[in-house]
A and B are shown apart, each in its own frame.
Chain A
Amino acid sequence: MSALTVTCVTKSYGSTPVLTGVDLRVPEGGLTALLGPSGCGKTTLLRLIAGFDDPDTGTIELDGRLVAGPDRSVAAHRRHIGFVPQEGGLFPHLSVAGNVAFGLPRRQRRDGGRVGELLGLVGLDPALAQRSPHQLSGGQQQRVALARALAPEPSLVLLDEPFSSLDASLREETRQAVVEALSASGATAVLVTHDQAEALSMADEVAVLRAGRLVQLADPRTLYRSPRDLDVATFVGESVVLDADVRDGLAYSALGVLPLDRDCRDGLARVLLRPEQLRLGAPGAGGPTARVRGVDFFGHDARVRLQLPSGPTFSARSEGRDLPSAGDDVSVTVVGAALPFPVTGAVPIPDGVR
């Protein structure tokens, strides 16, 4: 059974449609990421699920129970959904303990042991319990917010871009703590993010939203390897997109003849490669030669920006050692298969032109 089912949900603010028919099934347990660029409606969807707002049409079910529909709207406080907002949203008038215990039944609120347990669950020192929220670091605030959301043992926890305000070093550590706490609690989690790396690394399932609609729901590997279209492909990771002519299951492209990942009808197509599929070698070592336009060095690896004599530009990922310099010529070979996307309505190029 799915923990959360969203069916045909639409929502407009005035004449601006924000969600235009979203269908989403979130399986029980595990973490699903709602990934999309800003303005795609992902936060709106989260607010509808939480019950802070009502959908215009469509239904939302939790554990098979209808909570929002044409004639029904269960109030937010009866949905039993945990919510972790951006920047934590800790109550400024309460201590850490007061915040964590907020959703507990009255009798348990005074129970320091329970608060300590919850702080432990998110990897915080129980000694922080008497602090004020403003005495905590950003990462600690987020963890307290998660502990607060988990305290009433909700079956579903919603996280609204919880890491976007943290700096890089803190973000990684906080993500780890959050993933661990969520899996220890056994709650189903939905995480809203615009950061594809975060979605791919944390989530069990990734739902890609675009312009108010769900485009693809898949596990991270499938999403990265078999995106539904080129937009999704370029959104979830760096891409090398080339024009190609497909004949007999092979793509004839500027980077040579490439095997295909899946069947594709003959004719014009665009093919997708990932930068890490490209290998660079000395000129003449096989494969076409490209000119290095620039190198972005990251330490563990580097992005090499390349241009073919015929014009197309693309990037390759290279290990940190043995990097070429701008202006060098390198040979480019492709490892693995390319993913084809037929160009609809195109006329196949007659033999002999290319």
Chain B
Amino acid sequence: MPRGPVRARSRLRRTPVPLVLAAAVAALTLLPLVYIVVSTVDVGWSGIRELVFRPRVGELLWNTARLVGGTVLLCAALGVGAAWLVERTALPGRRTWHVLLVAPLAVPAFVTSYAWISVLPGLDTYAGALLVVTLSYFPFVYLPVVAAFRGLDPALEETARGLGLSGWAVFRRVQLPQLRVALLGGSLLVALHVLAEFGALQMLRYATFTTAIYDQYRATFNGPGATTLAGVLVLLCLALLLAELRLRGRHGYARTGAGVARTGRPVRLGALTLPSLLALAVLVGLSLVVPLGSLGTWLVCGSSTDLEVGALVTTTGTTLGLAAAAAAVTTAMALPTGWLAVRARGRLTTLLERSTYLGSSVPAIVIALALVTIAIDVTPWVYQTVPVLLAAYAILFLPRAIVPVRSAVEQSPRLYDDVAASLGSSAPDRLRRVTLPLLAPGIGAGAALVFLAVVTELTATLLLAPTGTTTLATAFWSASSALEYGAAAPYAVVMVLLSAPATVLLSHDARRGLTT
């Protein structure tokens, strides 16, 4: 249909401000990538051949690919299954289960990893890595799918039932296609995180591109080895983005009708109730109870000797401030991109949106490395300052803010904007009085996700934090790297406690409809 892109173009001509802002955001996020490309060109073809075409890289490729593939499949199955049970069935305690299923987001992957490996030292295998990473990341699929289930119009299911489809056929032919955008968005997020995961895998001694780049960087600081490996990693990421783009197609699903969608009648599970409850209990047990239990044990064992309350309080304050600032900055940056990706869907806006994903998929270590180098070479006065750290956070976590914002825009018709304009409201006024309030749940979800991510961000902070600035994650890392598990525990506990309110907020927003 020729309508979409052309409408989009005329829409763009009429709204140049969001476009300029989105372009600026995309440019910032692409900065590290540009740095990699430039460095790779500097290395030259013979250098690349020497650094890339060797057995070690093949081994890393295999390790990385099977971990990403396995994690995405497991997360998709767990996320959709859990979301369906919580949203569409008459399972007892659905509200509680929902909170418990979002809660693993409060435990950083490297803490989960520490919790498991400090109890079961034999987990340094593929299966171990798959287990730890899946348990840490499945809520990224679960959350958007829950929201999508909630946004489904039950009238469609009823119509399909009326046409003689069975329950399973309704799920496959009516619900699943509508969940596709959410499922693919969540899966992409999981895959990108696995590609960039450093702490958890380093702790399990499972080598992927990211851990290899870190080791290379530690060995040779800013050497060509790290940047060429990062180049390969970026190519992997590009392949993922293209695959998602092809699978998702061009169509968004918006409910155009006014008013609130009715909620459907929950499915009665009957004899399957007990097995379903058991399955959820096992999932929550593995993703939440084991890590927290292990953490608690270490806290009790270690606190008698190693706890320094003063350092803990200072570190907590620093972390809080950084996370709040980063959440505000990043969400503001996500708005124009998320908005345009829906309202002016077209080649250019898709490119801008994809650019931010691409920029964010660069591992934190390389983003940090790029920003350090650029800061020293181009803007020495910002080297080792908070703005550079915030820029790194923004580049890293923009997709977390864009995905919910975009979903929110997808489900709020453009009509409201038009009506407000006809009532004499100017563009900035419309933004304040209509757009932002309507998108508030999506914006809130995005900000919470960014806040969570920053509280527990490790790699970029290790490299970019101004001298003397210690966050909970870096303090935890230095203690646990020295195998002082007891000393590390209090920092991990505070990280979890800090993340918890944001996680509850997130689950609450999703309950109201994360994206409407």
Query: Which of A's residues lie within 8 Å of B, judged by CB?
Result: 13-16, 47, 50-54, 75-83, 85, 87-93, 102-103, 133-134, 141, 148-149, 151-152, 158
Q: Which residue of the partner chain B has the closest CB to A14?
A: B2
Assess whether B273 is interfacial by the CB under 8 Å rule: no
Task: Please give, as numbers and ranges, the residues of chain B lying within 8 Å of A75 by CB-CB distance.
Answer: 421, 426
Flag if A102 contacts B258 (CB, 8 Å): no
Task: Please give, as numbers and ranges, the residues of chain B lying within 8 Å of A148 by CB-CB distance.
Answer: 419, 423
Assess whether B122 is interfacial by the CB under 8 Å rule: no
Flag if B422 contacts A87 (CB, 8 Å): no
Stretch in B90-98, B289-297, B430-438, B488-496 with 4+ CB within 8 Å of A: B430-438
Flag if B416 contacts A89 (CB, 8 Å): yes
Task: Please give, as numbers and ranges, the residues of chain B lying within 8 Å of A149 by CB-CB distance.
Answer: 422-423
| A-B pairs with beta carbons under 8 Å apart, 18 shown | A13-B7, A14-B3, A47-B418, A51-B421, A51-B422, A75-B426, A77-B429, A80-B424, A83-B419, A89-B415, A89-B416, A91-B420, A91-B438, A92-B259, A92-B260, A93-B440, A103-B423, A134-B259
- Name the interface residues of B79-130: CB closer than 8 Å to any CB of A: none
Tell me which of B6, B260, B430, B440 contacts A14 (CB under 8 A). Answer: B6
Task: Please give, as numbers and ranges, the residues of chain B lying within 8 Å of A13 by CB-CB distance.
Answer: 2-3, 6-7
Flag if A54 contacts B10 (CB, 8 Å): yes
- Among all A-B residue pairs, the 9 with the closest Cβ atoms: A14-B2, A103-B423, A83-B422, A76-B421, A87-B258, A93-B437, A14-B6, A77-B421, A13-B3
Q: Interface digits, B1-24 against A, CB 8 Å rule (1 contact, 0 not)?
A: 011011100100010000000000
Task: Please give, as numbers and ranges, the residues of chain A lying within 8 Å of B3 by CB-CB distance.
Answer: 13-14, 16
Q: How far is the CA of A79 from the CA of B421 in the complex (A)?
A: 9
Q: Which residue of the partner chain A has the closest CB to B7?
A: A13
Known: A93-B438, A133-B258. A102 touches B2 (CB 8 A): no
Q: Which residue of the partner chain A has the closest CB to B418?
A: A52
Tell me which of A15, A50, A87, A103 contacts B425 (CB under 8 A). Answer: A103
Tell me which of A14, A77, A85, A158 contacts B415 (CB under 8 A). Answer: A85
Assess whether B257 is interfacial by the CB under 8 Å rule: yes
Flag if A152 contacts B6 (CB, 8 Å): no
Tell me which of A15, A47, A53, A89 contacts B258 (CB under 8 A). Answer: A89
Q: Which residue of the partner chain B has the closest CB to A94?
A: B437
Q: How far is the CA of A240 from the CA of B410 in the complex (A)?
A: 48
Flag if A87 contacts B257 (CB, 8 Å): yes
Q: A13-B6, A83-B418 are in contact. List 12 more A-B contacts (CB 8 A).
A: A14-B5, A50-B422, A76-B418, A77-B421, A77-B429, A87-B257, A88-B258, A89-B416, A89-B419, A93-B437, A148-B419, A151-B423
Flag if B421 contacts A102 (CB, 8 Å): no
Known: A13-B2, A13-B7. A77 touches B424 (CB 8 A): yes
Q: Interface digits, B416-460 against A, CB 8 Å rule (1 contact, 0 not)?
A: 101111111111011001100110100000000000000000000
Tell me which of B5, B10, B14, B260 contacts A134 (CB under 8 A). Answer: B260
Task: Please give, as numbers and ranges, the residues of chain B lying within 8 Å of A82 by CB-CB distance.
Answer: 422-423
Known: A50-B418, A52-B418, A92-B438. A103 touches B424 (CB 8 A): yes
Least CB distance from B12 to A in Å reads 13
Which of B3, B257, B422 counts the most A-chain CB atoms under 10 A from its CB? B422
Flag if A141 contacts B258 (CB, 8 Å): yes
Q: Which residue of the partner chain A has the closest CB to B415?
A: A89
Flag if A102 contacts B433 (CB, 8 Å): yes
Q: Which residue of the partner chain A has the closest CB to B422?
A: A83
Known: A13-B3, A14-B5, A81-B422. A91 touches B10 (CB 8 A): no
Flag if B2 contacts A15 (CB, 8 Å): yes
Task: Please give, as numbers and ranges, the residues of chain B lying within 8 Å of A90 by CB-CB distance.
Answer: 258
Least CB distance from B434 to A in Å reads 6
Q: Interface digits, B253-267 against A, CB 8 Å rule (1 contact, 0 not)?
A: 000011110000000
Q: How far is the CA of A149 from the CA of B10 in the complex (A)?
A: 26
Least CB distance from A71 to B in Å reads 14
Least CB distance from B18 to A in Å reads 15
Q: How far is the CA of A92 from the CA of B416 in the complex (A)?
A: 9
Q: How far is the CA of A81 from the CA of B10 in the complex (A)?
A: 21
Least CB distance from B7 to A in Å reads 6
Q: Which residue of the partner chain A has the closest CB to B438?
A: A93
Least CB distance from A339 to B in Å reads 39
Task: Please give, as numbers and ranges, the residues of chain B lying within 8 Å of A53 by CB-CB distance.
Answer: 10
Q: How far is the CA of A93 from the CA of B258 in the complex (A)?
A: 12
Q: How far is the CA of A76 from the CA of B233 in the complex (A)?
A: 47
Least CB distance from B142 to A in Å reads 26
Q: Which residue of the partner chain A has the closest CB to B423?
A: A103
Least CB distance from B514 to A in Å reads 16
Task: Please give, as numbers and ranges, the residues of chain A lying within 8 Å of B14 by CB-CB distance.
Answer: 54
Flag if B418 contacts A102 (CB, 8 Å): no
Q: How far is the CA of A85 from the CA of B258 in the complex (A)?
A: 11
Q: How far is the CA of A279 from the CA of B413 in the complex (A)?
A: 52
Which of B257, B421, B438 counts the most A-chain CB atoms under 10 A from its CB? B421
Q: Which residue of the partner chain A has the closest CB to B414?
A: A52
Task: Please give, as numbers and ranges, the residues of chain A lying within 8 Å of B438 by CB-CB distance.
Answer: 91-93
Task: Please give, as numbers and ranges, the residues of chain B lying within 8 Å of A83 by CB-CB distance.
Answer: 418-419, 422-423
Least CB distance from B172 to A in Å reads 31
Q: How far is the CA of A133 from the CA of B259 in the complex (A)?
A: 7
Least CB distance from B56 to A in Å reads 52
Tell me which of B2, B258, B260, B426 contacts A77 (CB under 8 A). Answer: B426
Task: Please give, as numbers and ranges, the residues of chain B lying within 8 Å of A88 by CB-CB distance.
Answer: 258
Q: How far is the CA of A79 from the CA of B426 in the complex (A)?
A: 11
Task: Please give, as numbers and ranges, the residues of chain A lying within 8 Å of B7 by CB-CB distance.
Answer: 13
Q: How far is the CA of A141 from the CA of B259 in the complex (A)?
A: 10
Q: How far is the CA of A85 from the CA of B434 in the complex (A)?
A: 16
Q: How far is the CA of A89 from the CA of B421 in the complex (A)?
A: 13
Which of A77, A82, A151 counts the most B-chain CB atoms under 10 A from its CB? A77
Q: How far is the CA of A88 from the CA of B416 in the complex (A)?
A: 10
Q: How far is the CA of A79 from the CA of B257 in the complex (A)?
A: 27
Q: How far is the CA of A267 from the CA of B429 in the complex (A)?
A: 65
Flag if A52 contacts B2 (CB, 8 Å): no
Task: Please give, as numbers and ranges, the residues of chain B lying within 8 Å of A87 by CB-CB distance.
Answer: 257-259
Q: Which residue of the partner chain B has the closest CB to A11?
A: B10
Q: How far is the CA of A54 from the CA of B13 in the complex (A)?
A: 10
Q: How far is the CA of A76 from the CA of B415 in the complex (A)?
A: 13
Q: Which residue of the partner chain A has the closest CB to B434?
A: A91
Least CB distance from B438 to A in Å reads 6
Flag if A152 contacts B416 (CB, 8 Å): no
Least CB distance from A166 to B in Å reads 12
Task: Please give, as numbers and ranges, the residues of chain A lying within 8 Å of B257 by CB-CB distance.
Answer: 87
Q: How far is the CA of A88 from the CA of B413 in the complex (A)?
A: 13
Q: How far is the CA of A108 from the CA of B7 in the complex (A)?
A: 36
Q: Which residue of the partner chain A has the closest CB to B419?
A: A89
Which of B257, B258, B260, B421 counts the most A-chain CB atoms under 10 A from its CB? B258
Q: Which residue of the partner chain B has the closest CB to A50?
A: B422
Which of A16, A47, A54, A76 counts the most B-chain CB atoms under 10 A from its CB? A76
Least CB distance from A51 to B in Å reads 7
Task: Please give, as numbers and ranges, the residues of chain A lying within 8 Å of B419 by CB-CB distance.
Answer: 83, 85, 89, 91, 148
Least CB distance from A278 to B in Å reads 42
Q: How far is the CA of A149 from the CA of B424 in the complex (A)?
A: 10
Q: How far is the CA of A51 from the CA of B6 in the complex (A)?
A: 17
Flag if A77 contacts B434 (CB, 8 Å): no
Task: Please give, as numbers and ranges, the residues of chain B lying within 8 Å of A91 by CB-CB distance.
Answer: 416, 419-420, 434, 438
Q: Which residue of the partner chain A has the closest CB to B440?
A: A93
